[in-house]
């Protein structure tokens, strides 16, 4: 892995690693708390994703959790303490939302490897990422209404665009959890990886094996994406996002061409890709300058 332009952040409750060239892996590391994210965690993760977007050598991010949970949502103990205090106020989330992800507008792809429980803010995060791989034991839900709170970190308007109004209403108004298979059928999950059942997942070794299986699938996709032109990946992702955000096809196509077309055409990678095709060899990409 080449040296970084700036040093990586040092989050308090997450581990950073680089399992393949150009790939950042972030592992939530509060397994005893089911990887619930507290105020410090939100700030730290916002910094991590901002760093990834600006670090030229990185092309794809992967987010997963340690233990039997991906992320069970907000740290309700911290929230309760702050809500009960007459002086201590609940720290605001960063503009990028829950875990720096649920309202993230970053430019580089982000994949979630959902290794287990995924509730509340955990679900809000996966709704706004690019690809979701889930363990068969994973359960996914928005239980906020059962706790008297609301999913305000960006999930609700985004959820309806992914699963449709009726399914979004069922999920959000009942607070019930979906199995990984049901979430895949609804379109929240790209694919499901068969792992040992969560009811037997209290053994640490078994948890690690289950997490490894789903992470291997996610990392395989990350490596595949990282092997493509980094310029083309960024612009292609932006084009898909424009459509998902509700912009008409003609308008989105025009915006994409006007904003990115010239910069893409003048970059080194498009020239390298065409040369490599003509010369019948694998392209050697440059870090994106877009």
pLDDT grade, residue 132 (50/70/90)?
Answer: very high
Instruction: Please give the C-alpha separations between residue 53 and each of 106, 115, 247, in angstroms, as whole numbers.
Output: 6, 24, 24
Q: Is the pTM of this model over 0.85?
A: yes
Up-side HSE of residue 139: CA atoms within 13 Å toward CB?
12
Residue 88 has pLDDT above 80, yes or no: no
Q: What is the pLDDT of residues 201-217, one digit of tens each?
A: 456 677 788 789 999 99
CA distance 123 to 187: 13
Kindly report the number of other CB atoms within 10 A of residue 98's CB atom.
Answer: 29
Q: What is the pLDDT of residues 39-81, one digit of tens each?
A: 999 999 999 999 999 999 999 999 999 999 999 998 767 665 5
Kindly report the number of other CB atoms within 10 A of residue 245's CB atom.
Answer: 12
> What is the rounded end-to-end Cα distance, in angstroms, of the chain?
21
Q: Which two tokens stand for residue 154?
A: 């960006």
Instruction: Please say whether the beta carbons of 73 and 36 come within 8 A.
Output: yes
Q: How does DSSP classify residue 198?
A: G
Domains of the chain, start order: 14-226 (3.90.226.10), 230-278 (no CATH)
Catalytic residue list? 124, 144
């Amino acid at each position: 892995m080449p040296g970084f332009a700036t040093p990586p952040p040092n989050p308090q409750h997450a581990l950073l690693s680089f399992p393949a060239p150009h790939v950042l892996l972030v592992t939530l590391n509060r397994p005893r708390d089911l990887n619930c994210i507290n105020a410090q965690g939100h700030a730290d993760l916002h910094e991590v994703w901002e760093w990834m977007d600006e670090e030229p050598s990185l092309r794809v991010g992967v987010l997963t959790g340690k233990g039997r949970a991906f992320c069970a949502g907000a740290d309700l103990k911290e929230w309760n303490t702050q809500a009960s205090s007459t002086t201590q106020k609940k720290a605001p989330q960063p503009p990028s939302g829950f875990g720096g992800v649920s309202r993230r507008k970053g430019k580089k792809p982000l994949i979630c490897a959902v290794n287990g429980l995924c509730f509340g803010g955990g679900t809000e995060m996966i709704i706004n990422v690019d690809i979701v791989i889930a363990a068969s034991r994973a359960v996914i839900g928005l239980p906020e209404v059962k706790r008297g709170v609301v999913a305000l970190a960006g999930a609700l308007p985004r959820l309806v665009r992914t699963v449709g109004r009726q399914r979004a209403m069922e999920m959000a108004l009942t607070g019930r959890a979906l199995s990984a298979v049901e979430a895949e059928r609804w379109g929240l999950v790209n694919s499901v990886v068969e792992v040992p059942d969560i009811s037997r997942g209290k053994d640490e070794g078994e948890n690690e094996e289950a997490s490894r299986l789903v992470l291997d699938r996610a990392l395989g996709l990350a490596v595949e994406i990282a092997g493509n032109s980094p310029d083309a990946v960024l612009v292609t992702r932006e084009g898909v996002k424009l459509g998902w955000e509700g912009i008409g096809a003609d308008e989105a196509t025009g915006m994409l061409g006007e904003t990115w077309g010239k910069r893409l055409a003048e970059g080194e990678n498009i020239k390298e890709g065409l040369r490599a095709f003509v010369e019948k060899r694998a392209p050697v990409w440059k870090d994106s300058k877009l």
